[in-house]
Amino acid sequence: MIGTLLDIRANKGPASKTPQYVNAVISSIATIAVGIALQKGVPQTLIVFGTWAIGTGLIQLILGVRRRKLLGGQWPMIISGGQSMIGGTSFILLAHDPTKGVTSLAGYAAFGAFYYLLAAYRLSKTVNKA
């Protein structure tokens, strides 16, 4: 969410900020939903988190595919989106075995951070060429 807000602030060009605002809204709703689900238990929390991961992964995948010709260097976003959808599905499937579901969150977060940094590096190369 913080990354999205910084992206909105840094986006001075003519490009639409709508995707960033939608992402911020989705992240805010997901944060509230996870907070509510935590009150009910770990399985419910993993289901909510998995649903969020599938939804945002689908958005990443679509945006990455649509922007690959315009911006280039979108393969980290495409891979990350696909992996997020797979991870989200596994969280939902493992929700009733919380020991497996909770431990897989660490791997999901590590790969997410890796792809985020890789995408930032790749896009900075694209911007510097332009």
Mean pLDDT, 10 residues at a time, over the chain (130 residues)?
66 70 86 94 91 90 77 76 92 82 75 75 66
| pLDDT recorded at residue 54 | 94
- Provide the whole-model pTM: 0.76
Provide the token pair at 122. Answer: 């790749």
Q: Which pLDDT belongs to residue 86?
A: 93
The C-alpha atoms of residue 30 and residue 25 are separated, in whole angstroms, by 9
Q: How far apart are CA 99 and CA 111, in angstroms?
A: 20
Q: Report how far residue 100's alpha carbon sits from residue 10's, in angstroms, rounded to the nearest whole number.
A: 39
Do 37 and 45 contact (CB within 8 A), yes or no?
A: yes
Q: Determine the angle formed by the axes of helices 18-40 and 2-10, rounding to 10 degrees.
A: 170
15: Cβ contacts below 8 Å, ≥ 6 apart = none
Q: Tell me the two tokens of residue 21.
A: 């605002």
Beta-carbon-side half-sphere exposure of residue 4 (alpha carbons within 13 Å): 14
Our measurement of the distance from residue 47's CA atom to the centroid of its chain's CA atoms, rounded to an integer in Å, reads 16
The reported pLDDT for the residue numbered 12 is 67
Encoded tokens for 126: 């694209």
